Amino acid sequence: MELAEVARRAAAGFGPGLIQGPECSRAFVTIVVAAGIVLVGAQGAGAGTVTGRVSVTQRGGRLLQPLQSVLVFVDGVRVRVDPTQVSIEMKGKKFLPHVVVVPVGSTVRFPNLDPIHHNAFSVSGPNRFDLELYRRPHSRAVSFDFPGVVRVFCNIHPQMSAIVLVRDNPYFAWAQPDGTFALTGVPPGRHTLKAWQEQAGEASIEVIVPPDGEVRVALALAASRYRPARHKNKYGRDYHPAAHY
């Protein structure tokens, strides 16, 4: 995509029709100021900032507002990031939080805070795992060595689900509730920028990041065709229909 197209889309994303009310305007100003501060420090390293707005269209064409758990990230750039450790609690027959993002190599702990047995498993490609059964006060953990979307379930309770987003560079950020986002310290050049949301999947756009300065883009996700789907258990079979969940 040419720069002109990127600029056109950016302009569309920040058009007066999409920024409404003092709250949105304030958020926009805050992000621009924050980006400016980062750029002063990043100029010597040759890094740019990607800012913008992401929208999620629901069934019927309505925009989802406010946004929650929408990740924006640069794809296709591999930069090592120190692994982290995060926890997803099993509590009240739920995984909490429902969505987390971690760098490659990070560990996710699954403490079971319920007095009943739970399991955590995934069959998401190379990140597949199975922690078997355990209950309070035990906790088990798994490391994720490949980038991607890891869907986590409990083999006993089909209503329990979580998602671990694994990224192989540091250029990712959650969109704000109003859809705005800012990625700082991005290497200059042509990149693929993606947005992800659970019900909408992914949208992508090509961006040309300047060696210092800022590029603005708009990303549009569509969750209009989302239908809740049953998932299989860890054996690839349906959950037992007679079980009490």
In the complex, the residues that contact Cu ion under the rule CB under 5 A are 118, 154, 156-157, 160
Cα 161 to chain centroid, rounded: 15
Q: Tokens standing for 3?
A: 């720069």
Smallest distance, Cu ion to C-beta of residue 113, A: 12
The whole-angstrom separation of Cα 154 and Cα 140 is 13
Q: Is the separation of the CB atoms in 171 and 183 below 8 Å? A: yes
CB atoms within 10 A of CB 105: 16
Of 204 and 233, which has the nearer Cβ to Cu ion? 233
List, in sequence order, the alpha helices (H) in the chain: 3-13, 21-42
Pick between residue 132 and residue 145 the one whose CB is nearest to Cu ion: 132
Is 76 in contact with 201 (CB distance < 8 Å)?
no
Using CA atoms, how far residue 245 sits from 117, 119, 156, in Å, is 12, 13, 8
Least separation in angstroms between CB 156 and Cu ion: 4
State the nearest-atom distance from the C-beta of 11 to Cu ion, in Å: 48
Closer Cβ to Cu ion, 157 or 194, answer by number: 157
Q: 70, 46, 9, 76: which is closest to 209 by C-alpha? A: 46
Minimum CB separation of residue 202 from Cu ion in Å reads: 28
Minimum CB distance to Cu ion smaller for 118 or for 167: 118
- Comparing CA positions, the residue from 79, 51, 39, 30 lying closest to residue 183 is 51
State which residue, 27 or 141, has the beta carbon closest to Cu ion. Answer: 141
73 token code pair: 């990230």
Quote the least distance from Cβ 107 to Cu ion, whole Å.
Answer: 21
Tell me the residue number closest to Cu ion, measured at CB: 154
Closest distance to Cu ion from the beta carbon of 239 (Å): 11
Give the nearer residue to Cu ion in terms of CB position, either 14 or 239: 239
